[in-house]
Chains A and B, each alone.
Chain A
Amino acid sequence: MAEILSLHDAVKQFVNDGDTVALEGFTHLIPTAAGHEIIRQGKKDLTLVRMTPDLIYDQLIGAGCARKLIFSWGGNPGVGSLHRLRDAVEKQWPHPLEIEEHSHADLANAYVAGASGLPFAVLRAYAGSDLPKVNPLIKSVTCPFTGEVLAAVPSVRPDITVIHAQKADRKGNVLLWGILGVQKEAALAAKRCIVTVEEIVDDLNAPMNACVLPTWALSAVCHVPGGAHPSYAHGYTERDNRFYQAWDPIARDRETFTAWVNEYIHGTRDFSEFQARLAAASQVKP
């Protein structure tokens, strides 16, 4: 059964130094508030898994929480580079970052395999690509029935997955909709799972076949409205495209990044205080 906890308590209880952590959400429902709380609590030596590292991992990497990154597309969508990720890869700042690189099809299959309790995923992939040359974990397997050679990749089985969703009920059952990405697979592949939600309601009123994660498959549910910002929660918030653009100059430079993290994450107690500070700042700067 999932406990209804504050995000502070959930991260404190379920995220440990050295864990393999998946904060998933494919552009939609990115659990930004949880990323901030992990930085605030100074978690370290994490192995971060995410198909698209996005701003959330740019922040965790720049803040020094990560030892390793497992990913398949590392850009700022519609804007350009993730500068903290690049600085870590190209210049080892704030410390060296080991990278393990895959394709989307590979990682999506690897989450499905993880949720299925399998040690590896099999897919038709990578023939002619150089990625297997730089990632020794991409191997091949021969089909015992047809003889076809297929790609074999290790499943993703995080110690802890965090996702954001629209609704939970008071027992901790979770409903999400819209672009689902690999949310369900990442949740079920992990040993522990925290879900932050836009609202907690008496009854989910979930349509039949809707994407519902039952409370008994989760560790904690936290009420964090707007917790995906600058990503969005379909039906609740819009994607803040301007923040994605504004992130580029903040992250481009180590000093501006560090000042931003100190002011907006270390300098705030929780995500609602962060939101208030961000709102106040945007009124000053038109």
Chain B
Amino acid sequence: MTYSTNEMMTVAAARRLKNNAVCFVGIGLPSKAANLARLTSSPDVVLIYESGPIGAKPSVLPLSIGDGELAETADTVVPTGEIFRYWLQGGRIDVGFLGAAQVDRFGNINTTVVGDYHQPKVRLPGAGGAPEIAGSAKSVLIILKQSARSFVDKLDFITSVGHGEGGDSRKRLGLPGAGPVGIITDLCIMEPEAGSHEFVVTALHPGVTREQVIAATGWAIRFADQVQTTADPTEVELRALRDLEARTAAAHGQAPGEA
């Protein structure tokens, strides 16, 4: 089956989510990939949304973080304070799954502002749950479309820390979680290089060239010694994704936001 680069991105991200993992899910692309994982390779993945649902199993993608179906299909619904205090800070989250407006080479995330904070060029929505998810989840996956505007050499603002300034930054900051272990884009997969913790390309999606990735990255992106080629989406994965999107469009009268 033929497929789009966005479909490849979602499928590649879904594959990273292991069965039985406890996953704190951001809205938009992370929620789409996490639910695809639940519907394909990882039926027992536990999805937690910051609004309170634990073990949500929505049949369609939520448009907001607090859609009613998340509550109806959850194992339990707890107050938002409890989500952050007991379940995240308490150390029970295996994977924090985040989107971003911008990332840098160490997987730090900006969702706050482009330009000066006090005189912003573009005011973005802000932190939400991400800073503490990035700090306290045992590991973090980041999914976003790749361009030189979103993969920048220097962030105007670090909302949520990844590997900080690289090296042993996270250890020095006293952060409990391991930080970002993968950035999944519509072109490739990046993983932190041992030691430096700088993100390097470890897999290219089928048909994508190194030149394309270099052009779509705002820093001098490096490639791992062994660069894999991502396996094409299978028919099962593509059907599950397209069915999910069709059900979502029928239920909401619109495609889910990618924001």
For residue A239, CB closer than 8 A to chain B, the reply is: yes
Complex interface: chain B residues within 8 A of A126 (CB): 131, 135
**Residue of B70, B112, B120, B123 most packed against chain A (CB within 10 A):** B123
CB proximity of B55 to chain A, nearest CB, Å: 14
A99 to B252, CA, bound (A): 33
B81 touches A112 (CB 8 A): yes
Complex interface: chain B residues within 8 A of A89 (CB): 120, 123
CB proximity of A31 to chain B, nearest CB, Å: 14
Complex interface: chain A residues within 8 A of B83 (CB): 108
Given A79-B257, A112-B81, A125-B132, A72 contacting B65 (CB threshold 8 A): no
A90 to B160, CA, bound (A): 23
For residue A37, CB closer than 8 A to chain B, the reply is: no
B81 touches A109 (CB 8 A): yes
A149 touches B259 (CB 8 A): no
B68 touches A234 (CB 8 A): yes
Complex interface: chain A residues within 8 A of B95 (CB): none
A73 touches B257 (CB 8 A): no
Given A27-B65, A124-B135, A109 contacting B84 (CB threshold 8 A): yes
For residue A207, CB closer than 8 A to chain B, the reply is: no
B84 touches A77 (CB 8 A): no
From B77, which residue of chain A is reached at the shortest CB distance?
A: A179
For residue A144, CB closer than 8 A to chain B, the reply is: no
For residue B23, CB closer than 8 A to chain A, the reply is: no
For residue A282, CB closer than 8 A to chain B, the reply is: no
For residue B173, CB closer than 8 A to chain A, the reply is: yes
Residues in A34-76 with C-beta less than 8 Å from chain B:
51-52, 71-75
Residues in B176-228 with C-beta less than 8 Å from chain A:
176
B68 touches A238 (CB 8 A): yes
B53 touches A111 (CB 8 A): no
CB proximity of A93 to chain B, nearest CB, Å: 13
Q: B39-83 interface mask toward A, CB cutoff 8 Å, 1 = contact, 0 = none?
A: 000000000001111000000000111111011000001111101
A77 touches B63 (CB 8 A): yes
Interface-located stretch among A7-15, A127-135, A214-222, A250-258: A127-135
For residue A242, CB closer than 8 A to chain B, the reply is: yes
Complex interface: chain A residues within 8 A of B120 (CB): 89-90
Q: A64-107 interface mask toward B, CB cutoff 8 Å, 1 = contact, 0 = none?
A: 00000001111101111100011001100000000001111100
Known: A26-B80, A128-B158, A128-B164. 19 other contacts (CB 8 A): A27-B51, A74-B125, A75-B125, A78-B256, A89-B123, A101-B112, A105-B89, A105-B129, A108-B85, A124-B132, A125-B135, A129-B158, A178-B68, A179-B71, A180-B80, A181-B51, A181-B66, A239-B63, A244-B64
B residues near A, CB below 8 A? 27-28, 50-53, 63-68, 70-71, 77-81, 83-85, 88-89, 108, 112, 117-118, 120, 123, 125-132, 135-136, 157-161, 164, 169-170, 173-176, 252-254, 256-257, 259
Q: List 19 A-B contacts (CB under 8 A).
A: A26-B52, A27-B51, A27-B65, A28-B66, A73-B125, A77-B257, A78-B28, A78-B256, A101-B126, A103-B128, A105-B129, A108-B84, A109-B85, A123-B89, A123-B132, A134-B118, A181-B51, A182-B81, A184-B79
